[in-house]
A and B are shown apart, each in its own frame.
Chain A
Amino acid sequence: MPWIFTFTGAFHPLWATVNLRKMLPRFGGFLHSSCPVYIQNIMGKEIIWNLIAKKLSGEASEEELSMLESLLHSNPDLHYPMQTITDLWHSNQSPASEEALEAYGRHIGAMQKLGIHFPDENINPARAPKKNKRKIFFLSAGIVLLFSIFFAARLLVPAAGKPITNSEISTRNGSRTKLLLPDGSQVWLNAGSKLSYNKNYGSSLREVNLSGEAFFDVQKNTEKPFIIYTGKMQIKVLGTAFNVKSYPGEKTMETSLIRGSIEVTLKDRPSEKLILRPNEKIVVSNEEEPLITPGKAAAKPANEPMVSISHLSYLKSDSSIVETAWMQNKLVFTDKSFKALAQEMERWYGMTIRFDDSQRDTLHFTGSFENETIQQALDALQLTTGKPGGGFHYKMQRNEIMILK
């Protein structure tokens, strides 16, 4: 009997599902932030894999999907395996149709031999291949010719250093926008940013230039990689969602990956590729001076960017991702120096912020703004310093704010 088979584990996912469902409405927030170990202990990872399987196969209910999402939040280490399996799941090879066609010919032959009536279809597997071979020869010769013409043309036309820009979308400070690229990829452009692409977009590659911050949700197309050129970074993707922050003049630029995988290359080290996993971000220093490891800096050539890869951070309040909070109309900052925060606030509110003396950058802030006006925001900042008078004063004139001692 070929189907005797052992089943490993006596785990009952349904039981766990029911229990968790009871708990979730009450402890939803609490579960992500402070209790991941607790969940793991109760349920083990089996339930998560059970839910992932259901999601991939389209068997999951709404409830199960949202449960999976919250479980993944508390198990960030599962993001990468989950993503890889998701990609795997969707990378279906198309079954060879030629084989099927040949088998069909033989099948009809077998039917005729058995004397089963079947409308004749002029299937003659014996003669067909010859013709095909000749056709294929001419076809491939044609393809080779086409390719040669194409490459010759490319050689003859002087290669431009940078792609010629045809379309450019930009946002002013204080405004954000969403746009749809010709291939259906979506881009959310944060304030004070610029995205451009040329008319060849999508013909062989999907190339865009970015200055500023944008969230990309790239349509999957393995034949036409999506490439972003920005500052020192070049980011190559096939189909994923991620955030790029690269404002000229800022100390660092960064790329945060939500799902899928991306390949980052640095301008001055074109041969090295850094692969980012979901839930990770890469931060590259724009400055010549060291970013993370001051001690080791002396040993490095001066013009090399400093690079670090770290995990994304989640907001304690609702477990949304800090790096992409701007898309939910939130300005989120963690341990940010006042000057760096002021830069962000300038873009966010479309105002100019000046400091009256350069010694002010000792203040650091953590928090988020959502619906606050800039005045309310500054008042809140004053309060958090805990010092009498707030550690700073400010004066507002039209579109300009002056920060005073």
Chain B
Amino acid sequence: MIAAARIQYLQTRIAFHEDHQAYKELFLGLYAYLYHFAFAFVKSKQPAEEILSDVFIKLWEKRKEIDRIRNLKVYLYVATRNFSLNHIEKQKRLATENIDESALSMKALYFDPEQLMITAEMMNRIQKAIYALPPKCQLVFKLVKEDGLKYKEVAEIMNISVKTVENQLAIALQRIGDAVDFHLHRSIPSSLGNR
């Protein structure tokens, strides 16, 4: 995630100098995060990408005013969320098919067991625990962990209270912790002595 100060700098470059390099850097720096955020709502690649494109088109069109935005990163997340919700609404009107909201894509969460020095089986258990989290809980976990957002920012983006963010995150960690804590019977060869 690009540092907050860098985003602020890019913001002023875009607002006052129409700096397309700054615009590009902002796009590239936030793309993966916002894309996955949109994907969590629309669950489809093409619309997710189009939503992001729309968000950034809007940003460019309103470039002269964006210096007034207090937190551009949060603004872009909120915009992505609103565009995504609009997209879902439109889909509903177009087709009567029910959009399944039960599972968010956690494609963005990838852990390398080798690097973590844990077994593949343990990794599996962790992944399962994450998938089993309620959708909103999963998303809060991802926004804080992967996107590096502050509790306050997540609260603003998802339109929930900071307290709820706190609770959701505690729940997520506790569930993962329980999955890890499942008592490990590590195979110490019996000839190596007793524990």
Contacts and interface: CB of A to CB of B under 8 A. Distances in A.
A250 interface: no
A380 interface: no
A59 B150 contact: yes
Given A85-B177, A292-B193, A103 B170 contact: no
B105 interface: no
B145 to A, nearest CB: 6
A49 interface: yes
A111 B57 CA distance: 7
Interface residues of B, number: 66
Contacts of A88: 111, 116, 126, 176
Nearest to A308: B193
A6 interface: yes
Contacts of B110: 93
A100 interface: yes
Interface string A359-398: 0000000000000000000000000000000000000000
A307 interface: yes
Given A106-B49, A106-B53, A118-B20, A91 B193 contact: no
B52 A107 contact: yes
Given A57-B144, A81-B180, A85-B173, A107 B193 contact: no
A100 B150 contact: no
Contacts of A65: none
Contacts of A54: 166
A54 B165 CA distance: 11
Contacts of A46: 170, 174
A307 B112 CA distance: 30
A222 B170 contact: no
Given A9-B171, A107-B52, A95 B115 contact: no
B64 interface: no
A119 B20 contact: yes
A310 B193 CA distance: 12
A291 B28 contact: no
Contacts of A9: 167, 171
Contacts of B85: 2
B42 to A, nearest CB: 10
Nearest to A54: B166
A49 B177 contact: yes
Interface in B147-189: 150-151, 158-159, 163-164, 166-174, 176-178, 180-181, 184, 186, 188-189
Greatest chain A CB density within 10 A among B20, B35, B53, B163 is at: B53
Contacts of B99: 2
3 tightest CB-CB pairs across the interface, nearest first? Answer: A95-B32, A100-B31, A81-B177
12 contacts: A5-B136, A57-B150, A78-B181, A80-B180, A88-B111, A91-B116, A97-B28, A100-B27, A100-B28, A103-B52, A306-B192, A308-B193
Interface of A: 2-3, 5-9, 11, 13-14, 45-46, 49-50, 52-54, 56-57, 59, 77-78, 80-82, 84-85, 87-89, 91-93, 95-97, 99-101, 103-104, 106-107, 110-111, 114, 116, 118-119, 121, 222, 238, 261, 263, 269, 272, 274-275, 277, 291-293, 300, 304, 306-310
Given A5-B136, A13-B166, A91-B116, 17 more contacts: A2-B85, A5-B134, A13-B167, A49-B171, A49-B174, A53-B169, A57-B145, A57-B150, A80-B181, A81-B177, A96-B32, A101-B28, A107-B52, A110-B53, A261-B118, A307-B188, A307-B193
